[in-house]
Chain A
Amino acid sequence: MSNKPISTGAEWTFELIEEYDREIGRIAANFGLDTYPNQIEVITSEQMMDAYASVGMPLNYHHWSYGKQFVETEQRYKRGQMGLAYEIVINSNPCIAYLMEENTMTMQALVIAHACYGHNSFFKGNYLFQTWTDASAIVDYLVFAKRFIAQCEERHGIDEVESILDACHALMNYGVNRYLRPKPLTAAEEKERLNAREEYNQRHINQLWNTIPKKEEGSDSSKQPRYPLEPEENLLYFIEKNAPLLESWQREIVRIVRKIAQYFYPQKQTQVMNEGWACFWHYTLLHQLYDEGFVNDGFMMEFLHSHSSVVYQPPFDSKSFSGINPYTLGYNMMQDIRRICENPTPEDYEWFPDIAGSNWQTTLDHAMRNYKDESFILQFLSPHLIRELRLFSIIDDSEKPTLHVSAIHNEPGYRQIREQLSAQYNLGNREPNIQVYNVDIRGNRSLTLRHFVHNNMPLGEDTEEVLKHIHTLWGFDVHLESVQPDNTTSASYHCPPKEKLELY
């Protein structure tokens, strides 16, 4: 205990925050955390509610749904039905973290460690964020978006803009690219490719085969090429590029919503990892702070109290159970990886030959950088942790009268549970897989979407409403068909609704 505690009371001051930040930052750098510079902003509870209402961003365009969220949050907060988060952190460069003024000094230190070094380094390091988001540009982009939409409202009226935004918001989950698009070919490249192909054909031409009579053309007129040739899963992108009737400002709004959806996409895919990483580091950093004598026992008691309530997982039959707590799962997995590296058991050597006994910092860093929730769980969930959390999996098949326990935390069940938990975090399984299948470009310009049915799960009751929104954007008839894996259509939706066959 060479150092004096930085503070002993509950009250925080800006000087103390600065001092804590300096010490935590120093320790984080010693652990090799690579972060964006931090911008720590102290805000009031009302400002926190504002931030809630604009999806956590420092600014956003105006829309009634944000207002709705605001009045809801305000109502529940004022009646004491919910607390507000201690912090909000934004994936930007510099990384903006909001700290609530109500927090005690300990909480501020915890939040600094959690957000400003935990989340921050995750934003900077994880491959999804690096691929899909541009941290240094997001705030500027929001400024642009807000201004552009305000201009549109002035020029075209609030209602016009609102109907486009409503429609786009309904499709927000279908406005993301999951895979990088190839760069569009330049004209020169295109020409070159054309020549190359021609030359290839010339060289491999075989006159003999040409004598075979051609198949009669036009025998199957329905076999026209589809447009788009490959199904397109980014509905907003497709609409932005192809909707026949949209004006350019409307296309720009579609693009804005799409860009923002894309910005949030990595966060949806890395919730467990991101929170786990941040919890792991606030735990580690603050313990190091304690070991160096910068904080006292009282601080640690308060910190551990909040830490343990954050990473508490209520069992499935508890009243407060609402799914697996991503903080618990993530934090425990991170700690477990460290344990496997530092104190491997024979079981770990068998399950994780690559990492058992390796350097825990390099291993964790590698895991943070190169995985998302789905693959992270598939790779790193250990039998040890499955036992500790007492995980079990249940199959709920609506065609059977009973639920079936398919695996529990025992030797035959480990792999199955790991696969199923991983699949649970696969966004592709959680949201219905809906893609643009065809546009009748030669006919009535109707848009046909396809829902590829997974595990026989039907679409929810909102579907018709969403179709109306798509209709607003597309401007012509919209059809949606649910297609089973065996290519049979199990349900279809239309907007405007198809007239029912009248029976006389």
Chain B
Amino acid sequence: MSYIIDRRLNSKKKSAVNRQRFLRRYKKQIKEAVEESIKKRSIQDMDRGGQITIPRKGTSEPLFHHGKGGKQTRVYPGNKEFNTGDEFQRPQGGGGGGGGQGQASNQGEGEDDFSFSINQEEFLDFMFDGLELPYLVKKQLMDATQFETHRAGFTQAGSPDKLNIVRSLRAAHARRIALSGSDRDELRELKKQLWALETEPVSDDRNQKIHALKEQIKALDINKKRIPFIDDFDLRYNNIVKTPIPSSKAVMFCIMDVSGSMTQSIKEIAKRFFILLYLFLTRNYKQIEVVFVRHHTHAKEVDEEEFFYSRETGGTIVSSALELTAEILQQRYPRHEWNIYVAQASDGDNWDGDSQRCTQLLTEKILPLVQYYAYVEITNGPQQNLWNEYQQIHQNHPEQFAMQHIEELSDIFPVFRRLFERKTKGAA
């Protein structure tokens, strides 16, 4: 006696809880791995999941077992040349006689690594961990692109709630007419004969004929009724398609000082800031371009890799970067087509006398074009001359120009929020 059960439709994510427990337990290691991968990834590549590799050692569950050594006897199959009493050297590389313990790795990663994938949401979760993001903002950042749904005709497949009754019945009606066409013609013919007969004088012959006709009519009626009133392929469903909400384009300028005074850790903080800004913009704009401008005494447009990881030395002239930015803006990003955002990160150091020039460039060439200009100064020490200069601009353009001071990683979000407070309200 056997029961056969189709379980395929049963709930699938049975292991979801256990998986969460696992992530929870190894939060620290996974966070480290995520941080490592933030370094390797491009800013624009940040909002998806990925492969995480953590050391296997920490995840193993200890058990009592025998260690190496002692006297072990094992039986092996497939003898070819050995005879009783043979002695030979231990094969190198452990596992007396080729295997038993110690799985060989055939996977690119070594035995010592444990790797698995996490999804986008989890990735961002780990990335924002420690940034003190409030849940609402986190959710905004993690949510998938928004779509608008609108109707687009009818389909033959769909879910019951989208059933279009009028269309379905119309289709059924048409089908019934089409399938019963010949029967109906015949029926009409027979009925005509019947009426003709009924007007004739009563006789046995006539009664018999009427009876036969009635029988035929009855049979045809039954035939007609056999055609189903409504059938699967009559069903019509409202077709609803999703289209992404059209949104305009944005360009984000990342300007960073790469002079000798900027250490790698300052750059890491800056990178987080840029990532956050990028993700924030992706919520609001469909298409975003990112321009990286770095500068010391000269400014240069570079790719992301160079932007974050090439080391430069020398002095600092901020105006060079602003000049280049203004130039690029003019050439490539006409104001009426693009929403322009500029984020500048620096340790606040600048060549004496250059700050004046910066003010001039900003107020004349850049601020009239951009939506928003954000400046973060990452330093532990007192504010430097650029800060004082920028404060002037901030007072003159409080809507467009924002500046904040960051000391360590956990400051990023509060600072970010202060910078974008107004915008966040607008986006929500």
Task: Tell me which of B21-29, B290-298, B329-337 binds A.
Answer: B21-29
On whether the beta carbons of A431 and B74 are closer than 8 Å, the reply is: no
Number of A-B contacts (CB under 8 A): 277
Find the B residue at minimum CB distance from A393. B75
Per-residue CB proximity of A147-163 to B under 8 Å, as 1/0?
A: 00000000000100010
Find the A residue at minimum CB distance from B102. A322
Given contacts A47-B8, A322-B99, A390-B79, contact A81 B107 (CB under 8 A): yes
On whether the beta carbons of B96 and A71 are closer than 8 Å, the reply is: no
Given contacts A67-B23, A393-B73, A394-B96, contact A53 B85 (CB under 8 A): no
> What's the minimum C-beta distance from A120 to chain B, rounded to whole angstroms?
10
- For the complex of A and B, the 6 pairs showing the least CB-CB separation, nearest first, are A315-B78, A457-B70, A67-B22, A67-B18, A465-B62, A462-B62
Question: Is A321's beta carbon under 8 Å from chain B?
Answer: yes
Q: Which A residues are CB-close (under 8 A) to B4?
A: 14, 17-18, 21, 40-42
Q: Which A residues are CB-close (under 8 A) to B98?
A: 316-318, 321
On whether the beta carbons of A403 and B3 are closer than 8 Å, the reply is: no
Given contacts A50-B14, A162-B25, A456-B70, contact A38 B1 (CB under 8 A): yes
On whether the beta carbons of B6 and A391 are closer than 8 Å, the reply is: no
Question: Is A243's beta carbon under 8 Å from chain B?
Answer: no
Given contacts A395-B73, A459-B66, contact A316 B12 (CB under 8 A): no
On whether the beta carbons of A405 and B2 are closer than 8 Å, the reply is: no
The listed residue (A25, A49, A321) touching B99 by CB distance below 8 A is A321
What are 7 contact pairs spanning A and B, CB under 8 A?
A47-B10, A65-B61, A390-B78, A403-B89, A403-B97, A432-B65, A458-B70
> What's the minimum C-beta distance from B51 to chain A, rounded to whole angstroms?
9
Say which size band chain A's interface belongs to. Answer: 35 or more
Question: Is B185's beta carbon under 8 Å from chain A?
Answer: no
On whether the beta carbons of B70 and A408 are closer than 8 Å, the reply is: no
On whether the beta carbons of A402 and B15 are closer than 8 Å, the reply is: no
Task: Tell me which of A191-199, A284-292, A410-418 binds B.
Answer: A410-418
Task: Tell me which of A168-176, A219-227, A335-343, A439-447 binds B.
Answer: A168-176
Q: Which of A316, A389, A455 has most chain B Cβ within 10 Å? A: A316
On whether the beta carbons of B71 and A62 are closer than 8 Å, the reply is: no
Question: Is A420's beta carbon under 8 Å from chain B?
Answer: yes
> What's the minimum C-beta distance from A102 to chain B, rounded to whole angstroms?
11
Question: Is B115's beta carbon under 8 Å from chain A?
Answer: yes
Question: Is B76's beta carbon under 8 Å from chain A?
Answer: yes
> What's the minimum C-beta distance from B19 to chain A, rounded to whole angstroms?
4
Question: Is B199's beta carbon under 8 Å from chain A?
Answer: no
On whether the beta carbons of A316 and B71 are closer than 8 Å, the reply is: no
Given contacts A313-B78, A407-B84, A417-B75, contact A47 B12 (CB under 8 A): yes
Interface residues of A in 282-339 (CB under 8 A from B): 313-319, 321-324, 328
On whether the beta carbons of A391 and B67 are closer than 8 Å, the reply is: no
Q: Given the complex of chains A and B, what is the CA–CA distance between A146 and B29 in angstroms? A: 28
Q: Given the complex of chains A and B, what is the CA–CA distance between A459 and B67 in angstroms? A: 5
Given contacts A39-B3, A40-B5, contact A66 B87 (CB under 8 A): no
On whether the beta carbons of B14 and A431 are closer than 8 Å, the reply is: no
Given contacts A41-B5, A162-B25, A394-B73, contact A75 B115 (CB under 8 A): yes
Question: Is A130's beta carbon under 8 Å from chain B?
Answer: no
Q: Given the complex of chains A and B, what is the CA–CA distance between A78 and B115 in angstroms? A: 13
On whether the beta carbons of A67 and B21 are closer than 8 Å, the reply is: yes
Q: Which A residues are CB-close (under 8 A) to B23?
A: 67
